[in-house]
Structure 1
Amino acid sequence: MQRSNRRKFLGTAAALCAGTAAAAMPLPAAAKKYPVVHHVFFWLKNPGSKEDRDKLVAGVKTLAKIKTVRELHVGVVASTEKREVVDNSWAVSELMFFSDLEGQAAYQTDPIHLEFIKNCEHLWEKVIVYDAVAV
């Protein structure tokens, strides 16, 4: 019984230390330097097609050439624990950082972005965008 309580105490103490450290961490470097975040999630028309997913990933990566895009991260669904709050129904995501709202607006009409849409929109069924400004 005493060992069980000690393990619980050590586990709780470790969790509290980790939580305190995470709360004290500064914003990621990209968010500090580039406070406007553009996060896009794509659902494929053919969700089981690795070929379509790879084409979309390649297309998204071309967006890094746009002058106002400061950083770009392209992702696919991670094999993490299935929980009620986790949405893993999408196929590809893009996470972009911009210096300001004007840069994000310029991205929307940039010829590279428009070409990406023209070349890849046949691959996706649904797109959801989340735009945010770091606080």
Structure 2
Amino acid sequence: MKTTRRKFIATAAAVTAGTAVASAMPSIIKPVNMISKYPIVHHVFFWLKNPGSVEDRDKIIAGLKTLRKIDTIKELRIGVVASTEKRDVVDNSWGVSELMFFENLEGQATYQSHPIHQEFIKNCSHLWEKVVVYDAMDV
């Protein structure tokens, strides 16, 4: 009987551990699901005309934040250069970036011509010297 109880307890423990791992999986794989849910990525880098101007940088950031009102933008991240290790493959010459996720190409096209986006360009384009855009699709 002891052998049976031991086997039962070991099996119950294994099932409990497996259930705990399985229930934790959605939170572990959530970022991957976001990418699959929003497979169109639009990443823009801005080089400021006055790279040392915190005021100009903050104006672009404020302008980018207005883009959150465009409903086809599903995720929007705004960033500045991180103080990471300097390596030959890292370009840290830009000042501000935006990273957007869209459900589809139509949503990205809507964003391009949206009045809020056009207003951002009108109000902030005098602040940047160069813009580089990388568009990608999740595969």
Q: What is the TM-score when the length of structure 1 is the normalising length? A: 0.79
Identity of aligned residues (%): 72
Q: Deviations over 1:47-67 (max 9, x none)?
A: 000000001011011111101
How far the C-alpha of 1:31 sits from its partner, in A, is 1.1
CA–CA distance in 2 between the matches of 1:42 and 1:77?
11
**Among 102, 107, 123, the residue aligned to 2:106:** 102
What do residues 70-115 of structure 1 show as CA deviations (whole Å, max 9, x unaligned)?
0000000000000000000000000000000000001000000000
Residue in structure 2 matched with residue 115 of structure 1 by the alignment: 119
Instruction: State yes or no: 1:125 paired with 2:129.
Output: yes
Number of equivalenced pairs: 111
> What SS is found at the alignment partner of 2:94?
coil
Q: How does 1:7-18 map to 2 (within 5 A)?
A: none
Structure 1: 4+ residue segments shifted above 2 A: 25-30
Q: Which runs of 5+ in 2 are unaligned?
A: 1-28
Who is 2:17 aligned against?
A: none
Q: Distance in 1 between matches of 2:101 and 2:30?
A: 17
1:33 to partner: Cα distance: 1.1
Q: Which residue of 2 aligns with 1:62?
A: 66
**Alpha-carbon separation, structure 2, partners of 1:26 and 1:66:** 24
State TM-score, norm by structure 2. Answer: 0.77
CA distance in 1 between counterparts of 2:65 and 2:30 reads 28
Gap runs ≥5 in structure 1: 1-24
* Per-residue deviation, residues 4-49 of structure 1 (Å, max 9, x unmatched): xxxxxxxxxxxxxxxxxxxxx7863431210000000000000000
Residue 28 of structure 1 aligns to a residue whose secondary structure is: helix
Distance in 2 separating the partners of 1:126 and 1:30: 30
Question: Is the Cα contact below 8 Å between 1:42 and 1:93 reproduced in 2?
Answer: yes
Q: Comparing both structures, which one devotes a greater share of its residues to helix?
A: 2
Which structure has the bigger radius of gyration? 2
Aligned to 2:75: 71
Counterpart in 2 of 1:9? none
